[in-house]
């Protein structure tokens, strides 16, 4: 049981297809106790999914300090400490996506940065003392590789770049208390968040053409397993990392197609490879 006795807080469970749902389901299978959070119109959905999983659900909008503080107080009352957090929260108004990079007003850009970037640090700050009580614990956030421009991603791409930097600074700030802070850069998945990006097919095509291991954009299990690994005690010296769970696309040059299976490589080429 990889997570036996671990006490975890999971944000972002808004459908059975979400990464957060996959992580929560797998963590429960591995022995963890979990509290979910939701807010706004999605809270009712999170509550229904919480009933399915057998988890308590609390209201928490990460941009509302009083709600975050209330959840901290409830977790302190319930468990007295916390072993892990999943920050699975991101949002950008429509004007900041799909070609809106040069036209989005500051108000919309500010919203994207507040929800998708600053809130990661805020969650780390507020839950840090509870994690310290458990010996440090592990904060995991969700990323999408910010090293490149992705058509239509626009200000969300900028926010994710900020998230990567924020994660490193948070790892530095919370490290003395033993808290590990890492991001998972997942390949594209057909989640609620993905439905907001009109150019999502571009992402799908890139992964179909270039992922050395292949990629199933309907199954978040691989990402959920990586999150559970980071929550566990098996990676005690890993912090400030962006771990790619994307079928290998991040490692492949932009112009390179996926390699042909060995059976399709001419025999002489295989012989040369063997000699080398």
User: Which residue in the list 6, 78, 153, 258 is annotated as catalytic?
Assistant: 153
Taking alpha carbons only, the member of 222, 200, 210, 202 closest to residue 251 is 210
C-alpha span between 163 and 78 (Å, rounded): 30
Residue 181, CB half-sphere, CA atoms under 13 Å: how many?
Answer: 27
- Give the active site residue among 21, 160, 198, 258: 160
Count the neighbouring beta carbons within 10 Å of the beta carbon of residue 242.
Answer: 19
State the sign of the Cα–Cα–Cα–Cα dihedral 202, 208, 212, 213: positive
In contact, 207 and 188? CB cutoff 8 Å = yes
78 is annotated as an active-site residue: no
Per the annotation, the verdict on 258 as an active-site residue is no
CB within 8 Å of 188: residues ≥ 6 apart:
144, 194, 200, 203, 204, 207, 215, 217
Rounded Cα distance, 39 and 29, in Å: 25
User: CA–CA separation, 179 vs 85, rounded Å?
Assistant: 11
Phi and psi (nearest 5°) for 184?
-110, 120
Q: Which residues are catalytic?
A: 153, 160
């Amino acid at each position: 049981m990889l997570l036996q006795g671990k006490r975890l807080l999971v944000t972002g469970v808004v459908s059975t297809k979400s990464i957060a749902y996959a992580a929560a389901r797998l963590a429960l299978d591995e022995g963890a106790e979990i509290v979910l959070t939701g807010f706004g119109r999605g809270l009712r959905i999170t509550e229904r999914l919480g009933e399915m999983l057998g988890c308590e659900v609390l209201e928490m909008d990460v941009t509302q300090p009083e709600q975050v503080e209330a959840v901290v107080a409830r977790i302190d009352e319930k468990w007295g400490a916390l072993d892990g957090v999943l920050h699975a929260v991101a949002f950008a108004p429509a004007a900041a996506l799909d070609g809106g990079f040069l036209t989005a007003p500051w108000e919309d850009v500010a919203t994207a940065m507040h929800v998708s970037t600053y809130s990661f640090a805020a969650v780390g700050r507020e839950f840090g003392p509870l994690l310290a009580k458990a010996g440090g614990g592990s904060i995991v956030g969700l990323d999408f590789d910010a090293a490149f421009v992705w058509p239509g991603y626009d200000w969300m791409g900028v926010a994710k770049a900020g998230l990567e930097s924020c994660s490193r600074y948070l790892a530095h700030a919370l490290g003395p208390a033993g808290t590990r802070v890492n991001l998972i850069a997942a390949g594209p998945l057909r989640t609620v968040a993905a439905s907001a990006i009109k150019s999502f097919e571009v992402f799908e095509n890139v992964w179909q053409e270039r992922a050395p291991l292949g990629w199933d954009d309907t199954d978040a299990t691989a990402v959920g397993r990586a999150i559970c690994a980071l929550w566990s005690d098996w990676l005690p010296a890993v912090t400030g990392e962006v771990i790619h769970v994307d079928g290998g696309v991040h490692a492949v040059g932009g112009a390179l197609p996926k390699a042909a299976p060995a059976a399709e490589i001419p025999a002489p080429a295989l012989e040369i490879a063997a000699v080398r």
